[in-house]
Structure formats: C-alpha cells, structure tokens
Structure 1
Amino acid sequence: MSRIFVSWAVAIAIASPAFAAESVEPEAAAVSARLAKIKTIVVIYAENRSFDNLYGFFPGADGLKSSRAKAARLAQKDRNGQVLKELPPVWSGLTAPGVVPPVTQIQTEHLPNAPFRIDDPNGFNVSMGKVTRDLWHRFYQNQMQINNSKNDRFAAWADSGGAVMGYYDGGASLPLWNVAKQYTLADNFYMGAFGGSFLNHQYLICSCAPIYPNANNSPAAGLIAAVNADKVSLKVSPTAPASAIDGPPQFVNDGAITPDFYAVNTMQPPYQPSSVPPAAGGDPAFANPAVANVLPPQTQKTIGDLLSTAGVTWAWYGGAWQAALNGQNASPIPNFQFHHQPFNYFAAYAPGTPARAEHLRDGGLDGSAFIAAIDAGTLPEVTFYKPQGNLNEHPGYADVLSGDNHIVNIIQHLQNGPQWANMVVVVTYDENGGFWDHAAPPKADRFGPGSRIPALIVSPFARKGFVDHTRYDTTSILRLITKRYNLPKLPGIAVRDAAIKRQGGQPLGDLVPALKLTGN
C-alpha cells in the first residue's frame, strides 16, 4: 500500500466516523468478544529442541527444504571464519552414556558440512526413543553461534562438535506432529532469550533477566563471565584449539553472570526445592545463600503478579514438585530439574507466603496431579505445566518420544475435559538445546530473542491445519495472556518492543493470528 493511499485512507476514516465504525470497530469488537470466550489458557513447556531439529520437514513450514535452509546448509564456518571442510566429530559420541548400542565419537568423524538425520536407518539409526548427548546451550555461546544472524558458527562454538547439525525425520514417528497437522504450527517462533533453560524460564514469566546485585562482592564473584568488548562473545583461552576440528572451545571464564550482574546461565533457586541444601542450622526451606550458584530472591514484576492483581486465577504445575521437596528426585525418574521452576526464584513466592501455597502446585509424578485437575475441570484461568525431567525431551537425560507421548496424553485429557470448549493450549520448548536452526532470530535487545523453536497452538479456536508464519517469541505467550485479560504490559515486553523498533522491525505477535476470532 502506498504512503499516499495510507494517508488518504486515514483522512477518510477521521473525517467519516461512520466509515470507521463500520469497517474497523466491528471487527475489533468481534475479536475482543471472541477472545473473551477463552476461559482457560494452558502453557506446556518442553525442553531444548530447535524447529529444524524436529519439524524441519513439516508440510508448508519454513523447514530444511526451504530456499533459506538450502543457502545455509554448507555455511558452517570454523572459528577463524573459513568454511569447514567437514563437520567436527561429535565429541564423546552422539548418544548419551549408557545408551545401547552407542554411537561413538569415531563413528561421527568426517561427516559432511551439512545437517544430518539422527534417526536415518541407513546412518546412525538413533531413534527418537533413545537419548542423545547434551549440547551447550548457554547465553554467550548462543550469540556466538548465531553470529550476527548468519547462523554459521554452531559447530565452531559447541562442546558437542557436529551434533549441533542433527535432526529427526519427524512425520508419523513424532506424536505431536499429528497434533500440529490438526491445529496450528508456528514456524517463526523464537526462544525469548539467548542461551539455556534457566534464562528462558524467566522470560516465560517476566520477560526479564534475573539480577545478582553487587555480584563482584559476593560468593558468586567467580561466576562473572570474561567477555569481549563486543559484549556478546566470551574471551577465548590462549590454550584453546584453534579449529573446531581439533576440539571444543575453551574460555577464560564461561560464567553464569554478566559483567553488569545479570544472571544468564543456570543458577539455583534460593528456596527449596534446590540442588543446594540448606545452610547448617539454617532455615530448611531455603538454599544456602553462601553457595556461589544460589541466586538471591528476585523482585521483578511477573505475569503471576499481574494476574493476581487483576483477580485472574493462575497456577504453575511442576511435574514431580512434591517428590523433589520430599527428596525423591531419583535419576532418570523423575529427574526433577530445579532451575525449571521460575517462580521459585521470586520473593513474592517464598516459602510460607500465601501466594506460594496458592500458585505453586505439584503436577505429580508423570503429571498425575495435573491430569486429575484437568479431568475435574479445576484448572485455573492461566495454567503453566512443566513436565518432570525424564518427560521433557531434554538431550542428555530425556528422549524425544517419551516427552512427545506424555504431552499428547496431556492434550487428550484436555480435549476430553470439561474446560476444553473455551481453552487455548500453547505447546512450546524453552530453547533450542544448542541445535542449529537455519532461521535467523529477529534483532532486538541484549537478551534476545534467541534461536527458532517449535510452537503449537491447540484449541477449538485455533486455525485448523494451519502453519502460522507470524513472527513470535516466548514473550508472545505473555502478550496473549495480557491481551485476553487486559493486563498492563510487563516492563520487559516494553523494552523488547522498543528495541525491535530501533532495529527497524515490528513488535512480535501475540498469537492471535493463530486463532480464528472473527466470523462464525
């Protein structure tokens, strides 16, 4: 549309109230009215998969056969900027320890510089039911891998060598694939922050990075990262291998805290359950604050705070939460992950507070308590569900198939439950887990967005059999909740909007384009 036409249309709309009322307001009113019919929003938060890793061949999606992907296929470069002649070996092997039969490091040598299929029956033949090795998924490394939107240094700045380029065929082998075919798959959805699970869980609830005040004068002083002047890359150790072919990179200090005291890599919650036990003689509900990787209680505004103020019911269901509190966190089952419980970092939800008792709930082993609430029709208006560790799809300790089957089971209960008719379910992943994806994330603020991840919108309101190309990130979930319940905008979302605008972009979507909110 030309600038002249836009100006003309605006002028007509201003001069003719009837025009504006008839052409704009009814549609907006219809959307608002139908949005109000959504009574329950459920967010299911899985782990560590890029879009290309799972949905690279989904019909109609921007996947591994797209022109953008083909242009990027052979672009992986070494640390010096030269194109790699082959992928580095997968250091320590492709499969996790204990997997039979193993795929060893030697078996992964001399892979072509291109994406490879993990479950190829004529190749490595590692099915979705087997656990592959973990990969670095850290704040600075993710930015170094993205390399100013080129996505060409994933193998160079990884501790797993060529494993970053692995993907699965998907299709009928992936249980959630069929769910995506029935509803909406978003193929332009990015993780809210660079790096790993810890920071992206914070972005899911507050669109903010945690703060460690005066970290340089604290037990965490040794965790402050050594960062280059560009503020996005780590200082490389002088003894590090020059080439990715010769070994993983080494850094002067790959810490959890930025030089200006934001916590960006995994730190432990100040309250139990935490991997850090209480101080000797201290409050048994607290983690020992003298331990370096314990984050002080946070006070930023969260989506939970806004919902409570507005009188909207909400809860975070943590799979195996009570088992972890009881000290029953056996591995591999349930393998509860302490840093996947973001509200447990905030003073507003400290042990003993009414807010904690009301909003932080046990999802039960295998999601049993969550499923019971679904079946009883007692889910709060806004509900978050975090599967326990062995069911969350995280490489290194969980496989894809078990997590996908679990989430499909949850969705089936939701579909058969009494609240389904007025429900929107968002299924997504916290971050990419270190896996390459060909799509460059939008440029915004210093914390993200990071790499592209899958997201499914499952609902009676969802567009059916639809691939949504709208640009989203994790904060889009907060935008949907904010819009539905007419909440104030979280400060972090305003920061992101302003940053994208400075880069010449548009604000990220609120998931409404994935919903059919007008017409019959």
Structure 2
Amino acid sequence: MKNRRFGLCAVLVVGALAIAVGTAEAAGDAPVPPNGLEKIDTIVVIYAENRSFDNLYGKFPGANGLANATPEMARQLDRGGSPLKELPPIWGGLTAQHFKPAVAEADTEHLPNAPFAIDDPKGLNTPVSAPTRDLVHRFYQNQIQINGGKNDRFVAYGDSGALVMGHYDGSKLPLWEVAKRYALADSFFMAAFGGSFVNHFYLACACEPRYPNADQSPARGLIAAVEADGVTLKLAPDSPKSALDGVPKFENDGSITPHDFYAVNTMQPPYQPSGVKPAPGGDPAYANPNAPTTLPPQTETTIGDLLSEKGVTWAWYAGAWRAALDGAAVTPAPNFQFHHQPFNYFAAYAPGSAARAEHLRDGGINGASFIEAIDSGTLPQVAFYKPQGNLNEHPGYSEVLAGDEHIAEIVRHLEESPQWAHMFVLITYDENGGFWDHVAPPKGDRWGPGNRIPALIVSPFAKKGFVDHTLMDTTSALRLITRRFGLPVLDGLRERDEAMAAAGGQRLGDLTSALDLPSP
C-alpha cells in the first residue's frame, strides 16, 4: 500500500498505469486543457443526497435504465445464495414516522422479487412528496450488496427489506426537465463505497479519512470486525439466516477499518458545528477530542488547497451553515448535517484561520445566501453548494420533491446569472443511499467506485438533450476543475486511474464529453 503524508489517505494501487495520459500529467503536472475549455470561467457543483440512478432516472429516454435490467439481473438472492421467493416486508413500514398517512410494514408484504415503483397508484401509492424511511448505506454493507458486480445482495444485507428495490417515475420531478434540456450522465458512479461521509471527502480530496492509532484511542471500540477478505463484516451468531426473517446482525459494524485505521463510516468533525459538543472547559469552537466519534483533524491536500495555491477563487456554500454555527440547525428544518461539510474536518480550515473565513461560506436558509451570490454575479470561480438537510433528498428526513424543486430553482437563478454565459454546473448525488441499481460498478481500488448515481451537466456549452455514456465518478468533478485551472493532479485521482487500468478498465472521464466547446 502506498502511504501519503500523515493525516489521511492511502489507496491500494495495483500495477502501473496502462493508459497513456500525457507526459505532463504523468510527471505530476496538470493536464493540458482541451480547446475551448478556457471559455468556462465558473464551475458550480451541486451535491444532493442518497439516490441511485435507477431510483430516479431509471425510465429516462435514451438512458441505460430499468428496461435494460433483465429479470435475472434484478433478482435478489438470500444470504445463503438462493433466490428469494419474494421480497421481505419493508421493515418498520415504508414512510418516515412523521409522514401521515403511514404505509405500515404489513402493507408492504409479499412483493415480487423484482424492482417496483414506490409511487405506483395501484401499489404502495407513495408520491415523491412523501419521505420514506432511511436505508442502510455503509462501507462494508455496500460492498457485500454489490457482490462483485452482480448487485444481487441489496435486500439480503440492507436493513429496509424490499425498499432497496424501489424507484420512482422521475418524469414527475422538475430536474427531469432540466436533464432533458441539457445532458444526463448514465455511467456516473459514487466515488467510494458506503455513505455520505466518505463521498464528501472524495469530492474534497479524492481520498479516505484516517484515524491514526485508533486502537490506542477513545475510538478503539469503533474498529469494525471484518472477515479475512477485508470486505465482509462478521455476522453475529444470532443473525437471522434469511432476509425474510429480519435484518442482519454483525459483531461490530464499526466506522474504522482494522489494522490501518481508515474512517469509512460517519464520524464527527473536530471543529464546530459538530455532532460532538465541546469538551468541558475546552475551546467552544472545537469538538471534544476525547469523544469516540470525533475524527482527528485531517491534513491531506484538498482541491481547495490546490485552487488557493494557484490563485483561483473558490468556496463551499453549506446551506444553513450560519444557523448550525449558532446552534439553530434543528429538525425538521433546516436540519444541518455536520458530516456534509468536508472541509470542516481539515486542519487547514480550523476555527480562526483565514482560509476558513474565506472558503467555508454560509449558503443561507433555503439557499438564500448562495442565491444572492448567483444573482449578483459574485460566485467564485469554483463553487460547491450543499443544500440544507430538509432540501437534500435524503430518505428518512427529506423528500425527493422538495429537494428537487429547490435545486431546480437554483438552476433557474444560475441561468439568469450574469456569470451564466461562461458557466458549467454539475448536479449530482453523494451516493446511492442504499437503493439498488442494475449496472455493475467498474472495478477500481479498495475504496470504490460504488454504485451508479444520477449526474446532470447544465451549461450553455452542454450538448442539448444528450445522454452521456462516458464512464465517470464523483472525482470527475475534480478532474474537470484540475484540467480547467491547470492544477497539480491529486494523488487520489492518479491512484484511482492506476487501479482501474490494472483491473483492465478504462480511465475515468472529466465531464468534457458532455460539452460542445467552441474553438478558441
């Protein structure tokens, strides 16, 4: 394993790069921008939550969707390897507890072993305006569910029964129309196995967070119990043998890998706002470092660091950031999620630093501050936007429709912005949220890619009405930023390419395949 400098990521790299990437990039310098890419002055990345491609866009015209999923591809296996005779109930019921009328567990029994429409009026009849219960979406479970690319253990190793196989008629959503007007990528994957925590890190640094010496720390109880393959969680002796009998139980479904101590499931930021309160008598701007779930400050190079070194302006706009700092980000709204601001984990953006004040910005309640920057034409050259919790489409505490309407409204403001003529916008989701997708993820490195997720490319330069089949993942956003602004290539980008090439695959795209760029 190749180790990077203290504080963060090491990624398993197998073999040498088998695809030519150019002399400059191989030497560690920035790749040369293609003709016309200099026409893009502003790059915006909008990061929603927890939806697989098939869950929302499985019926999109021209896309590799549910019509391409044969019954054999969609069939789910039980934990012993035999096909399930039917899907188990949605444990605990379909809808989130605060939604009425509820769809009870008994209402979801005896569904066929196949994908189903959550919003089917003749079925469960649960519209896109109703928040469903959450689904497990964790590092080890995701790999077990993918099962080497067969995607046939989603039910068996989920915690929501049949719900993993549910999807919507996405044509009812406003972003569907945005995708029809611009471009939709249907071979775009989440960068890392698991959940929001690690995938936000991948958007910030293309790397996996680390907890050095976790076995000698307050977090030692969070080290996962894993089989010798390094991928499979150890089942508890009393775990149900069949998915029809209940949710699997594990010896220790922890957040930290054994032996080398990478943080693969949600841990809390070392700085406020955090899910961990300050230490008694300690600095109120810090989380208690002795709490088991507090991740130590990270020191890996981020895309933000590289942009700053090059003099390129950038910011991460977090919806309800100011409210969270003031202690007002409560449920049900705005419901700020602490692990959705990845730069709050890095020492370079610690409280009191100039970098924090400049780059970690408040998106405002309902995105008001972000919209103000859009309307005034004052967005930095690179802008990341994370909607607040109740507008991010995450099952359990958000609904699809509200988040979709919010992002569509953001798009409308971007289209009317003074900066629009030279803008590129990527709208994507951090991960699949536990929902099944029929397309096998490409073989990569130890950390991913994980399952397929939606990605919309919105720009005056986008190929109109285009479905892009180019292989990409979350780090493709960083590849585009790197290429456009001539940045050094992050280690994680190169390591992902090397691992995919060694596995016989292809290099990941940088989103330019969805663009018609004018000649200079």
| TM-score band w.r.t. shorter chain | over 0.9
Partner of 2:63: 61
After superposition, the C-alpha distances for 1:89-116 in whole angstroms (9 at most, x for unaligned) are 1100011102111111111111100001
Shift in Å, 1:70: 4.3
Between the aligned partners of 1:199 and 1:85, the Cα distance in structure 2 is 35
Q: Is the 8 A contact 2:476 2:510 kept in 1?
A: yes
Q: Is the 8 A contact 2:71 2:114 kept in 1?
A: no
Between the aligned partners of 1:432 and 1:483, the Cα distance in structure 2 is 27
Shift in Å, 1:517: 1.6
Q: Is the 8 A contact 1:272 1:286 kept in 2?
A: yes
Shift in Å, 1:32: 3.0
Partner of 1:348: 348
After superposition, the C-alpha distances for 1:444-503 in whole angstroms (9 at most, x for unaligned) are 100000000000000001000000000000000000000001111101111101100110
After superposition, the C-alpha distances for 1:69-97 in whole angstroms (9 at most, x for unaligned) are 44412x20000110101011110001110
Q: Which amino acid aligns with 1:121?
A: P
Look up the SS of the partner of 2:36 in the other structure.
helix
- Structure 2: unaligned runs, 5 residues or longer: 1-30
Look up the SS of the partner of 2:96 in the other structure.
coil
Q: Is the 8 A contact 1:189 1:471 kept in 2?
A: yes
Between the aligned partners of 1:312 and 1:158, the Cα distance in structure 2 is 42
Q: Which amino acid aligns with 2:391?
A: L
Between the aligned partners of 1:201 and 1:481, the Cα distance in structure 2 is 16
After superposition, the C-alpha distances for 1:2-35 in whole angstroms (9 at most, x for unaligned) are xxxxxxxxxxxxxxxxxxxxxxxxxx99x73410
Partner of 1:198: 197
Q: Which amino acid aligns with 2:47?
A: Y
Shift in Å, 1:426: 0.1
**Count of aligned pairs between the two proteins:** 489
After superposition, the C-alpha distances for 1:373-422 in whole angstroms (9 at most, x for unaligned) are 00010000000000000000000000000000000000000000100000
Shift in Å, 1:186: 0.1
Partner of 1:392: 392
TM-score (norm 1): 0.93
Alignment of 1:133-282 (within 5 A): 133-171=133-171, 173-259=172-258, 260-282=260-282
Look up the SS of the partner of 1:36 in the other structure.
helix
Alignment of 1:103-122 (within 5 A): 103-122=103-122
Q: Which amino acid aligns with 1:59?
A: P
Between the aligned partners of 2:484 and 2:340, the Cα distance in structure 1 is 26
Between the aligned partners of 1:516 and 1:321, the Cα distance in structure 2 is 36
Partner of 2:49: 47
- Structure 1: unaligned runs, 5 residues or longer: 1-27
Following TM superposition, the consecutive aligned residue runs of length 4 or more in structure 1 with deviations greater than 3 angstroms are 68-71
TM-score (norm 2): 0.93
Alignment of 1:96-107 (within 5 A): 96-107=96-107
Q: Is the 8 A contact 1:268 1:274 kept in 2?
A: yes
> Which structure is richer in relative contact order (CA contacts within 8 A, separation 6 or more)?
2
Between the aligned partners of 2:236 and 2:367, the Cα distance in structure 1 is 44
Partner of 1:364: 364
Between the aligned partners of 1:196 and 1:62, the Cα distance in structure 2 is 24
Q: Is the 8 A contact 1:63 1:69 kept in 2?
A: no
After superposition, the C-alpha distances for 1:244-278 in whole angstroms (9 at most, x for unaligned) are 00000000000000012000000000000001110
Between the aligned partners of 2:282 and 2:424, the Cα distance in structure 1 is 43
Q: Is the 8 A contact 1:390 1:403 kept in 2?
A: yes
Between the aligned partners of 1:303 and 1:270, the Cα distance in structure 2 is 20
Between the aligned partners of 2:301 and 2:445, the Cα distance in structure 1 is 19
Partner of 2:405: 405
Look up the SS of the partner of 1:317 in the other structure.
strand
| Alignment RMSD | 1.1
Shift in Å, 1:297: 0.1
Q: Which amino acid aligns with 1:278?
A: P
Q: Is the 8 A contact 1:329 1:335 kept in 2?
A: yes
